[in-house]
Chains A and B, each alone.
Chain A
Amino acid sequence: MISENLFLLLLAIAFLGAPIAALSNARPSLSTKVAFGVSSLSSLLGLVVAADVLLNGGFEVEIPLHSIFGTFSFSVDGLSAIFLLTISLVTFAVSLYSLGYVGHYKGKYPIGLMGFFFILFYASMVMVVTSSNAIMFLIMWETMSVCSYFLVIYESRERGTVGSGLFYLVMTHIGTAAITVGFILMYTQSGSFDFSSFGSAASGMSGLMRSSVFVLWLIGFGTKAGIIPLHIWLPMAHPAAPSNISALMSAVMVKTAIYMLVRCYFDFLGVQDPWWGVLVLAVGSISALLGVMYALIESDIKRMLAFSTVENMGIILIALGTAMLFQSYGLSEFAALALIAALMHVLSHALFKSLLFMGAGSVLYAAHTRNMEMLGGLAKRMPYTSLFFFIGVLSVAAIPPTAGFVSEWMIFQSMLQSFNFPDMVVKVIMPVSLGTLAITGAMAAATFLKAFGITFLARPRSEEAEQAKEVPRTMLVGMGTMAALCVLVGVLSFSILPVLDNAASPLIGASIADQLTNGLMINIDLPTGGRFSQVSPVFIAVLLAIIFPTVFLLAGRYGGRGKVVQADTWDCGTPLTSRTEYTGRGFSNPINRMFSWVYRPKREFQATARPSPYVKTDMRYTSTVVPVFERYMYDPVVAFVRWAAKKFSVIQTGSIQTYLGYIFVMLVLLLLAMRW
């Protein structure tokens, strides 16, 4: 009862706070405090509600509104609560961070408006994951898309921002169209837009109809999730948005699509055919691999992070596809394991990606550039930012015992269970997908090693990086919260996994919490009774915490306390400058060459001729990577639409009389058609 009221209070605070933030726009510091005070307050309430639902069970609040589309109500069950928790956690940290971050927009862009859309964006995400009616859901989904669109184009005077926003708006509506058609197909069967009626309706649907709805939803929600080949708005829109918004979009907005995929496939449709799972698995594998490959060669920190989001959504889809496959063969205990792994990755990705985007924002705040090749040496100038960013990097690279490690380990384990499939083809598909996931993991480590190494280590590569200062305290608090959680969620995963199981078991029909955790251990048991594998992040953390100081002490004791002398880096006699450092481009070049059949790099080398062939001055080297999907998929479509529009423009004469004539002819034709 209390959490119902708190939930309504959350929405009330958001809807009252948003206009106040907008109205106080004239006074930037006031509107900053109002906007992000309101958002942190309502996200705290969201945390309380989610925690209460996870511990004591869900609730439903009906809105007293009579509509032709059935009853509008919010319902929060275990699955909703997991996402509500994730969204609120990230929004809370980002709100604290924004208090300091928006400072540099003062006098340039209206802070009150950002606050307005920021609060509404949070509220709409909350309502998306709690809606219980298709029409109501679509309204909230649109609100979320439009709010995020306005936030993407916030820095509207920057080059390319408005274009990126438009691309985002178009793509997201293509997705919404597919989702809507899917809902309408469900409606033709169930006769109601209430989500509660969808579950029973699916069993009466024909196989073809169910499969069409499955594909439509995969396209629709996949667009929002940024799966390849529908991803191309993501690396445009996420970097264009202000960094605090990028953090929200990349860490949690894309997760709402995952929420709906889980809800729709496991709750409404039921997993019918094995090929559904195989398709999701394939799409996930491709997104993960290509996403990380493009992230690796990127020099723009925020674009790199956006591509990494594509990769991680792919990883979540791999786990989801595995769960669907197990479910379609009736192996529900393994399906539960895979779904828990997917939810764990949802949580850990939300934590580290928001942390990394906030870190990138801090770098931008302090050094005024997102280009890694202009940065360097920030670890000494921004010690706290670099430490927090480093923890995020460890988590994304799945270094034990962080959250990213636990979720990746879980996903591997659920895929290793593939020998239980009765079907040979599926058995062979799984190791291929597992190999892809392993390559993805190794490349992600390389990507983030490069990002951290080039941005924060060695010598600064520009004047701005040289002058960089640590960012304001509120920003550090926001990042520090997430950094602490990245470690804690990993270490304490033994207590988090049963909660995830609690959310997943009603959808799957099997609970594995009893087998999954035992005290401080995470166990994977075989159905026959044997122990398949186990891990204990707590013990790993404790052991690392004991061994590290021991090594330090013993090494310091043995052979006397050696002096540590500061000196130059070995330079072979020529003083080193920033130009002699290894570059990010150089770092990723071997992999670029190794996978040149994917990247299709175009290299051009020009040098002015000199009398001696050995001495060249004035050399130019350019290397570009062909964006395959833009070139071969989207460009032809755009070209076709342009061509068709030009052809049709013949009938647009611009005179009213002609248009009236068209209308008359059309009317007559329609009337005749009706007669038949």
Chain B
Amino acid sequence: MLIEVLQMLLILAIAPLVTGLIRKFKAFFQGRQGPSMLQPYRDLAKLFRKDSVVSKDTSWIFMAAPYVCMTAVITAALMVPFFTSTSANFLGDLIVVVYLFGMMRFFLALSGLDAGSSFGGMGSSREMTVSVLVEPTILLSIFTMALITGTTVLGQISESLATSGLDLVRPALFLAFAAFFISTLAENARVPVDNPATHLELTMIHEAMILEHSGKQLALMEWSSMTKLVLYMALMANIFFPWGIAIEISAVAIGIGLLAVLIKIFLFALAIAVIESSMAKMRLFRLPNLLTVSFTLSLLAVVSFYIL
């Protein structure tokens, strides 16, 4: 249990850093110096010290949501392998992780509706619309990995892929990864689905839902979203390309595993920054096209596994 808790704490600790890193990359592409990579930590620390302003129209859901979101993310962080393939598998498999994220989304969207402003409702409505196509894509990608590795248990997927050389590398793996990557952008409110850097009512999804939150509650919302992004990156790194992950618990293996996962996360952060700097956000009603593409990719992944 010690390893799992350590991984969880590490994921929580580096989450603001990863967000800071993406912002730094984007600043670089825009020719700016940009704020320090440690700025998200300072923002969170400040928010935790602030008082909260809560709308009179809200119910207990609004106050509970940030804590529920954080709880869901921490539970998921215990289950997702980070630098070793050891994780809290006794809780459940990859599908359970997806449902924990579903729980987070559910409370986030409800708290968006709770204050009774049009912004929040709009954000919630769009979030759920996006999820209608994203969730099946993620589940079909998982299905593909279950077929390739013969299990949906997270640690075992990493382990069997990491230890079997090139045997399990198939076209289906890459198709599923492509689908999962697009879903990661959509689930974490990144361009081209959402723009994390704006507060314009016509474009925003995630920011609209947390508009009414303030103080500690806002800090928890922000922190849990940052952690969710790192968890998705860890999933991409350790399900699709787990090479380097520590299989046994020894100082050397863990050292290599930590280095490997951090390099992969660095690369994913760079990829996200490149996409965000080179692409505009899509209009809401063009999104279904992109999401349908990713859904089709994941379906193709399964079918190609059977046919090829």
Contact, CB under 8 Å: B103 / A581: no
- Of A539, A568, A582, most buried by chain B (CB within 10 Å of CB) is A582
Contacts of A386 in B (CB 8 A): 59
**Total interface residues in chain B, CB < 8 Å:** 84
Contact, CB under 8 Å: A562 / B153: no
How long is the Cα–Cα vector from A458 to B150 in the complex, in angstroms?
A: 47
Contact, CB under 8 Å: A435 / B140: yes
Contacts of A484 in B (CB 8 A): none
Whether a CB of chain A sits under 8 angstroms from the CB of B293 is no
Contact, CB under 8 Å: A536 / B92: yes
Contacts of A532 in B (CB 8 A): 146, 150-153
From A419, A543, A562, A569, give the contact of B215 (CB < 8 A).
Answer: A562
Contact, CB under 8 Å: B78 / A416: no
As a 0/1 sequence over residues 461 to 487 of chain A, the CB contacts with chain B under 8 angstroms (1 = contact) are: 000000000000000000000000000
The segment from B48-56, B163-171, B225-233 found at the interface with A is: B48-56
Whether a CB of chain A sits under 8 angstroms from the CB of B84 is no
Whether a CB of chain B sits under 8 angstroms from the CB of A560 is yes
Whether a CB of chain B sits under 8 angstroms from the CB of A566 is yes
The segment from B119-127, B189-197, B237-245, B254-262 found at the interface with A is: B119-127
From A419, A438, A582, A591, give the contact of B121 (CB < 8 A).
Answer: A582
From A397, A398, A568, give the contact of B55 (CB < 8 A).
Answer: A568
Contacts A442-B136, A548-B68, A582-B118 given; does A427 touch B96 at CB 8 Å? no
How long is the Cα–Cα vector from A530 to B156 in the complex, in angstroms?
A: 10
Closest CB of chain A to B156's CB: distance in Å? 7
Contacts of B156 in A (CB 8 A): 531
Contact, CB under 8 Å: B71 / A435: no
Contact, CB under 8 Å: A399 / B106: yes
Chain B residue at minimal CB-CB distance from A543: B75
Whether a CB of chain A sits under 8 angstroms from the CB of B236 is no
Contact, CB under 8 Å: A582 / B120: yes
Contacts of A569 in B (CB 8 A): 55-57, 115-117, 212
How long is the Cα–Cα vector from A540 to B55 in the complex, in angstroms?
A: 32
Contacts A398-B99, A449-B124, A457-B110 given; does A533 touch B153 at CB 8 Å? yes
Contacts of B120 in A (CB 8 A): 582
How long is the Cα–Cα vector from A593 to B92 in the complex, in angstroms?
A: 36
Contacts of A435 in B (CB 8 A): 136, 139-140, 295, 298-299
From B95, B113, B126, give the contact of A458 (CB < 8 A).
Answer: B113
Contacts of B219 in A (CB 8 A): 555
From A452, A535, A562, A567, give the contact of B56 (CB < 8 A).
Answer: A567
From B78, B136, B216, give the contact of A556 (CB < 8 A).
Answer: B216
Chain A residue at minimal CB-CB distance from B72: A544
How long is the Cα–Cα vector from A409 to B135 in the complex, in angstroms?
A: 14
Whether a CB of chain B sits under 8 angstroms from the CB of A605 is no
Tell me the dominant secondary structure on chain A's binding face.
helix
Whether a CB of chain B sits under 8 angstroms from the CB of A380 is yes
Closest CB of chain B to A521's CB: distance in Å? 7
Contact, CB under 8 Å: B96 / A400: yes
From A434, A454, A531, A589, give the contact of B139 (CB < 8 A).
Answer: A434
Q: What range describes how many residues of A lie at the interface?
A: 35 or more
Whether a CB of chain A sits under 8 angstroms from the CB of B303 is yes
From A412, A454, A570, A589, give the contact of B212 (CB < 8 A).
Answer: A570
Contacts A449-B106, A580-B118 given; does A443 touch B132 at CB 8 Å? yes
Contact, CB under 8 Å: A521 / B71: no
Closest CB of chain B to A334's CB: distance in Å? 14
As a 0/1 sequence over residues 11 to 49 of chain B, the CB contacts with chain A under 8 angstroms (1 = contact) are: 000000000000000000000000000000000010011
Contact, CB under 8 Å: A428 / B306: yes
Contact, CB under 8 Å: A457 / B102: no
Closest CB of chain B to A347's CB: distance in Å? 19
Contacts of A416 in B (CB 8 A): 143, 146, 152
Whether a CB of chain B sits under 8 angstroms from the CB of A563 is yes
How long is the Cα–Cα vector from A539 to B143 in the complex, in angstroms?
A: 24
Instruction: Sample 19 A-B pairs with CB under 8 A, ordered by A number.
Output: A394-B106, A416-B146, A416-B152, A434-B140, A446-B128, A453-B109, A453-B113, A531-B151, A547-B74, A551-B67, A555-B48, A562-B50, A565-B54, A566-B55, A569-B57, A569-B212, A582-B113, A582-B124, A587-B113
Chain A positions near chain B (C-beta within 8 angstroms):
376-377, 379-380, 386, 390, 394, 397-400, 405, 409, 412-413, 416, 419, 424, 427-428, 431-432, 434-435, 438-439, 441-443, 445-446, 449-450, 452-454, 456-459, 521, 526, 530-536, 539-540, 543-544, 547-548, 551-552, 555-556, 558-560, 562-571, 576, 580-582, 586-591, 593-594
Q: Besides A442-B135, A558-B48, A567-B53, 6 other CB < 8 A contacts?
A: A449-B106, A449-B110, A532-B153, A551-B67, A551-B220, A559-B49
Chain B positions near chain A (C-beta within 8 angstroms):
45, 48-61, 67-68, 70-71, 74-75, 78, 89-93, 95-96, 99-100, 102-103, 105-106, 109-110, 113-122, 124-126, 128-129, 131-136, 139-140, 143, 146-147, 150-153, 156, 211-212, 215-216, 219-220, 284-285, 288, 295, 298-299, 302-303, 306-307
Closest 3 CB pairs of A and B: A582-B121, A458-B116, A438-B136
